[in-house]
Amino acid sequence: MDAPRPGLAAPLTAALRRWVLGVFPRGQSGIDYDTPAGDPGLFGPEAVTWRIHGDFPGMLAGGLCALLLQALHPRALAGVWDHSDFRTDLIGRLRRTTAFVAGTTYAGTAQAQQLIARVAAIHGQVRGTTADGIPYAADDPALLTWVHATEAYAFLQGFRTYAGLPTPDWVDDRYYDESRRVAEALGAREVPTSGAAMTDYFAQVRPELRFDARSREVLAVLRTTRLPVPGGALLRGLFIGAGAALLPPWAEALLQITPLQRIRNRACARVLRGLAPLFRMALPDGIAPRACRRVGGSPDLLRRWPDRT
């Protein structure tokens, strides 16, 4: 699709910018992406992770896809159910998760490590039992791997579907291998490092998954949460549908997505693909461009792949 003409697109890009900044205000995380000069952080400008995590439509749709997947794991869901205010502050939870992903991707090394240490300390306090009486702990390496795997899979699929940048096959393996750094720093083990390994991992964990009453309530909260912006319900539905369109077929079956819902989700995906260039026009001054300037690079590098080696 050709890029929209800036003059004609200006009113819509301005509205999209207000929407994004209304849902995800800047400056609240306290993370400084401009210093220290030259510090590449945990990844740096040659990482494919910088490209994938810098695309807003793909990351938001991918993040919602990851939430749908995570709702299928009883022990992972129990931690959210027992120790989270997701029912009353789902937006706050999404903002905190977004800040963690952005900070560990683009902030300087020291700040990224502080974010990891802070989250690890929180995980150490999250313990309990599922509705079936099975113990869980948020710092369980297996649960950490599950959360990471769902996010990495969904972010990559979101980028492939909505970023509008042709993505060669080798990017998948490199992204999975790069992104595991944060998961392993949090305590995850046996993290998938390639596309084939990710496919095998999901096949291995599938017998543990189920769609139950708790899963349904989490999804109901997700689908009814009010966004603090005009037109929030419309855009919420668009992104949830576009996120659901990224699900693998086995997850669609577990989540009992009907043929009609599948058609609607595919329609949302087509709409978001059309809007994605406008989101990029609306957000030229995002976190990823700031990180590029911190290391002395141009934000243009985010729209091309680094060398394969």
230 in a structural domain: yes
In degrees and rounded to multiples of 5, residue 127 shows phi and psi of -145, 155
117 in a structural domain: yes
CA distances for 26 relative to 55, 283, 287, angstroms: 16, 12, 9
Give the dihedral sign, CA 74/209/90/233: negative
Domains identified in the chain, total number: 1
Owning domain of residue 156:
6-26+42-290
Give me the pLDDT at residue 27, please: 85
d(CA 16, CA 239): 13
Give me the pLDDT at residue 166, please: 94
In degrees and rounded to multiples of 5, residue 239 shows phi and psi of -75, -35
d(CA 242, CA 227): 17
178 in a structural domain: yes
Give me the pLDDT at residue 1, please: 43
Q: How many residues does the chain have?
A: 309
296 in a structural domain: no
295 in a structural domain: no
36 in a structural domain: no
145 in a structural domain: yes
Provide the token pair at 163. Answer: 């970023």
pTM here is 0.95
Helix residue ranges per DSSP H, the chain = 6-23, 48-52, 56-70, 74-83, 86-106, 109-123, 141-162, 170-186, 195-205, 213-224, 232-244, 249-254, 259-282, 287-294
Low-confidence ranges of the chain (pLDDT < 50): 1
301 in a structural domain: no
SS3 24: coil
